[in-house]
Structure 1
């Protein structure tokens, strides 16, 4: 790869990563969430029986203390509740409440708006090419750093 192309690719990926994070943070702030909280809450709503903190952390590819801190920050919203795990006093199941479920359409709308705004008027064929290239790059990077670095978003 030509050195100028290497620089251009690195600048574009770094810039996109930073801009995406800021844009996502702004969209989520409008509904009272921070990045990461959206994925955690959305995931909880997909599990009718809830999850333990350990299960939630594993699904998000984060450490249990990180999941615990994120839950603590979300606690004031009333978007989930904790229930004891029968037979294990040390464990609790985290379940999305009606308020948590009610927030999902706003989360999904924020995600959809961000995707639309990021790709703009790009045609379907070019979107498919862009997604294929990004997914292949993610797969190659995942092989280098491992599966546990980033949660699926």
Structure 2
């Protein structure tokens, strides 16, 4: 098998397996993949965020954020507050219950990272992280170039 095939296969398999393992961990918290990041980002803003601000921060479209929030609503992890200057908008603010969930989300992320890396040395871990970060940077540029080409 060629190196290119091995890399593609490994990245595709890792992506699927990581998402499945993350889904299993998050299910124990009552969350689905993506909802963890949304809540975590919201929790970083004490005054909350509008749907547009949240969408921009996540790099996704506002309707996608709205759908995610609708799915999350039953958990009581956030509340909607009207924006004083613009009644058409609402500010999404994390509740006490949401803030209490954040450390559990972070713990799930830490456990998953440890389980995924296994028993590798600190040096091997640093090499793997650096390689993944550089690959992400390159893919971000490629994806950005593709988005520009579509316009």
Distance 1:75 1:28 in 2: 16
Q: Does residue 1:74 correspond to 2:72, yes or no?
A: yes
Structure 1 runs (4+) deviating above 2 angstroms are: none
Could you tell me the TM-score, scaled by structure 1's length?
0.93
Distance 1:61 1:87 in 2: 25
SS of 2:45's partner is coil
Q: Which has the higher helix share?
A: 2
The Cα RMSD (Å) is 1.3
- Uncovered stretches (5+) of structure 1, i.e. residues with no partner: none
Alignment-derived partner of residue 5 in structure 1: 3
Distance 1:73 1:11 in 2: 33
Aligned residues: 146
Q: Which structure has the higher relative contact order (CA within 8 Å, separation 6+)? A: 1
Distance 1:146 1:70 in 2: 24
Could you tell me the TM-score, scaled by structure 2's length?
0.94
Superposition deviation, residue 87 in structure 1: 1.7
- Uncovered stretches (5+) of structure 2, i.e. residues with no partner: none
